[in-house]
Amino acid sequence: MKKLFCLCLTVAFFSIYNYADAQKLGFVDVAGLDPQIKPGDNFFRFVNGRWNDTAKIANDQSGVGSYSFLNIPQKQLLQNILDSVSKTNNKMGSIEQKVGDFYASGMNIETINHRGYQPIKRILAGIDAINSIPSLLRFVATESKSGNRSIISFGISPDNKNSSINIAHIYQGGIGLPDRDYYFKTDSPTLHIQQAYKAYISTLFQLTGSSRAAATKDAAIAYRIEKQIAASHKSNIELRDVNANYHKISVASISKSQPNIGWLTLLAGLGAKTDSIDMAQPAYYDKLNTMLKSVTIHDWKVYLKAGTLEYYAETLSKPFVDASFEFSKVLSGQATQKSRRQIMTESVDGYLGQALGQLYVKRYFNEDSKKRVLNLVNNLQKSFENRINHLDWMSDSTKQKAKEKLYTITKKIGYPDKWRNYDNVQIVRTKYFENVLSLNQNGYQYELGKLNKPVDRTEWYTTPSTVTAYYNPSQNEIVFPAGILQFPYFDFSADDAVNYGGIGMVIGHEMTHAFDDQGAQFDKDGNVKNWWAKEDYQKFREKTKQLDNLYSSFTVLDTVHVKGALTLGENTADNGGIAIAYDAFKMTQQGKDTVKIDGFTPDQRFFLSVARIWRVKTRDAFLRTYVNTNPHSPAMWRVNGPLMNFAPFYRAFNVQPGDKNYKPEDQRVKIW
């Protein structure tokens, strides 16, 4: 389970930064504040209101602002690199050659369009040749090794009960809509998405030569199978239950209970030599075992063709890319397609991320930032320890275990110490589809090579250039890539209030994930193992339920509310992150002072920075999908939710009864 979900030279906790000098620096966007909004009514709008009212979302984007949308300007930096290396004669086999030639192959639109869907004709012919369940599953296994998982979602990662070893896992799969609920909800927006999805499948069939009538019929068949499959799926909320989604079982046992799948043959086809496997969602595979007999071979072939066309559409000619976009914009609200340069930048980052990451770090990353952020991480760790020591609901024995876990957390900042190599990948400048296929196959073999091997705890699960951060419970680690170590999250020249409210909050957020409703079930070594006193854990669950109820009361769009149960882990981390970062900030020289900068006290600047890092504006269609599928609350509630629970915020901005977001002290949720 991975969430790809964040000292001074003399006295501990004291920054060497001369914060008085910051009076000359404008890190707080005073002009963006909306004085018509009371901080206690809506702090997100108070800080970001003017910006939100004037910000324009580009037609080729679904949103604008910070966090994930900061990756938009970030991609321009990557484009600069790619434009350079793709026009240079690079040494064959070098990362510059592979990155540059892969980018160039995808930019060769004329050749890609000329080929049409010729690159996948061989795959479609393989589907036509299927004449039995065993041959169907052989096809599925072969395609899985190229990334096209269809009905078998297979992967390698640590064993939840023995985090030192990588084991085989299989998960529910087989659907094309964002999650199971999209097949069964009957509200108008969802019905619109269902119709658009069926129209998309029909278009793909037509692009391969089917008549409109035949394509419509086949789309209905494929959708009907997906809906049957979806009925066996767990919901996104159910998927958050750690123990309920772990079932390590012998291959011999599932071979008997699910004979139609033919597990021994299937695993051999996947290249996976193992006598046991974690079947995360058994109900899905029970259903699949039944459906392999109840659905005709003809209909399965239609389904596999639909899934294959969907999977490869964006690597084919323009009509396929256009069809894919027409459906995706129903989910995202994005008005126009991204430029080919943008698409290919994302493609290179996705397929050759650590190769491109090496070039990014070399060109853009400030090594001094890494050292300063590590100091912040260490300071927040001590702040968190102090908060644990003063918890009034946790026993001393559980506190000791919590602190042991806290100080066992591995810290990864900037970029990997050991880069992944792509020596076995051959990139041909004139063949984009084949390059994608080669990279997918290489990626599969890279993962397969971990099976039954010790876990490599140096590995990263994101690219260095990405604006993100994550906590990985199976390795008890926090990771902050180079991409997020920039304004508004971090600036080497900014005062401590700004940096602790920015990257400090992110660091505290990721640390708290080790102790959210999921992370709390993992011990310091990354194993799912209870380390809590029974009564302490019960109190913890009661507090998280309060947080669930609070966030479920927040309205996002018309009648759409935040899903408190789905977002519980992230909301716990947001609430804890702000508290931990604030306490660490109060230990700095600036945090102990009252000197104003830009007219604001240090505490006010801290909270202004917290709200600034979530400055995000999205399209309604994107937000509707986001609320249904994303474990994070929308940006506004990542600010307002934690602050309405946090007393220092009330003091900093004189929040009083009668203010819309005021909560009486006995109603404020306090966990960490």
3-state SS assignment for residue 153 = strand
Q: How far apart are the first and last CA of the chain?
A: 23
- Answer whether residue 72 is part of any domain: no
Please report, as a single letter, which amino acid is at residue 358. Answer: Q
Number of domains in the chain: 2
Question: 483 to each of 95, 256, 361, how far by Cα in Å?
Answer: 20, 49, 9
Res. 5: pLDDT tops 50: no
Please report, as a single letter, which amino acid is at residue 93. Answer: G
| Residue 607, pLDDT score | 98
Rounded CA-CA distance 15/13 in Å is 7
The pairing of strands 63-65 and 153-159 is: unpaired
Rounded CA-CA distance 466/74 in Å is 8
Rounded CA-CA distance 437/40 in Å is 53
Same domain, 305 and 387: no
3-state SS assignment for residue 454 = strand
| Residue 18, pLDDT score | 38
Same domain, 514 and 632: yes
Mark which of 269, 286, 311 sits at the end of a domain.
311
Q: Which of 5-14, 102-111, 274-283, 639-648 has the lowest mean pLDDT?
A: 5-14
Same domain, 287 and 171: yes
Same domain, 603 and 502: yes
On whether the CB atoms of residues 5 and 513 are closer than 8 A, the answer is yes
- Answer whether residue 230 is part of any domain: yes
| 127 vs 27 pLDDT, higher one | 127
178 φ, ψ (degrees, to nearest 5): -55, -40
On whether the CB atoms of residues 66 and 52 are closer than 8 A, the answer is no
SS (H, E, C) 375-438: HHHHHHHHHHHHHHHCCCCCCHHHHHHHHHHHCCCEEEEECCCCCCCCCCCCCCCCCHHHHHHH
| Residue 14, pLDDT score | 27
Helix (H) or strand (E) holding 345: helix 340-351
- Please name the residues in contact with 628: beta carbons below 8 A apart, sequence gap of 6 or more: 178, 179, 181, 182, 236, 563
Q: Report residue 414's pLDDT band, with 50, 70 and 90 as the boundaries.
A: very high
| Residue 69, pLDDT score | 87
Same domain, 384 and 254: no
Closest CA to 585 of 598, 603, 573, 572: 603
Mark which of 311, 329, 357 sits at the end of a domain.
311
3-state SS assignment for residue 225 = helix
Helix (H) or strand (E) holding 665: none
On whether the CB atoms of residues 100 and 85 are closer than 8 A, the answer is yes
Q: What is the mean pLDDT of residues 468-493?
A: 95
Same domain, 271 and 395: no
- Answer whether residue 307 is part of any domain: yes
Q: Report residue 8's pLDDT band, with 50, 70 and 90 as the boundaries.
A: very low
Same domain, 391 and 307: no
- Bridge partners of 175? none
| Residue 67, pLDDT score | 81
Q: Report residue 24's pLDDT band, with 50, 70 and 90 as the boundaries.
A: very low
On whether the CB atoms of residues 472 and 181 are closer than 8 A, the answer is no
Question: 410 to each of 183, 314, 406, 571, 581, how far by Cα in Å?
Answer: 41, 37, 9, 22, 18
- Answer whether residue 114 is part of any domain: no
Q: Which pLDDT tens digit goes with each residue over 607-650? A: 999 999 999 999 999 999 999 999 999 999 999 999 999 999 99
- Answer whether residue 425 is part of any domain: no
- Please name the residues in contact with 445: beta carbons below 8 A apart, sequence gap of 6 or more: 145, 271, 424
Rounded CA-CA distance 575/633 in Å is 12
Q: What is the mean pLDDT of residues 398-404?
A: 98
- Answer whether residue 553 is part of any domain: yes
Which CATH number characterizes residue 208's domain?
1.10.1380.10
- Answer whether residue 637 is part of any domain: yes
Rounded CA-CA distance 366/475 in Å is 27
Same domain, 297 and 148: yes
DSSP string, 33-73: --TTS-TTT-HHHHHHHHHHHH----TT-SEEESGGGGHHH
- Two tokens, residue 612: 């600034």
- Please name the residues in contact with 36: beta carbons below 8 A apart, sequence gap of 6 or more: 49
On whether the CB atoms of residues 343 and 106 are closer than 8 A, the answer is yes
Q: Which of 27-31, 104-108, 305-309, 398-402 has the lowest mean pLDDT?
A: 27-31
Which CATH number characterizes residue 652's domain?
3.40.390.10
Mark which of 311, 338, 364 sits at the end of a domain.
311
Same domain, 164 and 296: yes
573 φ, ψ (degrees, to nearest 5): -70, -40
Same domain, 502 and 637: yes
Rounded CA-CA distance 210/218 in Å is 9
| Residue 422, pLDDT score | 94
No. of helices (H) and no. of strands (E), the chain: 26, 11
- Answer whether residue 638 is part of any domain: yes
Rounded CA-CA distance 615/604 in Å is 17
Same domain, 382 and 304: no
Q: Report residue 572's pLDDT band, with 50, 70 and 90 as the boundaries.
A: very high
- Please name the residues in contact with 428: beta carbons below 8 A apart, sequence gap of 6 or more: 101, 105, 434, 435
Structure-derived torsion over alpha carbons of residues 63, 65, 68, 69, reported in degrees to the nearest 10: 50
Closest CA to 68 of 671, 661, 614: 614
Range(s) of the domain holding residue 288:
133-311
Res. 19: pLDDT tops 90: no
Same domain, 300 and 397: no
Res. 588: pLDDT tops 60: yes
Q: Which pLDDT tens digit goes with each residue over 230-262? A: 999 999 999 999 999 999 999 999 999 999 999
| Residue 25, pLDDT score | 54
Q: What is the mean pLDDT of residues 488-507?
A: 96
| Residue 1, pLDDT score | 38
Q: Where are the beta strands (DSSP E) in 264-391?
A: 276-279
On whether the CB atoms of residues 631 and 569 are closer than 8 A, the answer is yes
Q: What is the pLDDT of the chain when averaged over all its residues?
A: 94
Q: Which pLDDT tens digit goes with each residue over 82-95? A: 999 999 889 999 99
Q: Which pLDDT tens digit goes with each residue over 281-327? A: 999 999 999 999 999 999 999 999 999 999 999 999 999 999 999 99
The secondary structure of residue 528, as a DSSP letter, is: B
Q: Considering the chain, what percentage of its residues have pLDDT values greater than 70?
A: 96
| Residue 26, pLDDT score | 66
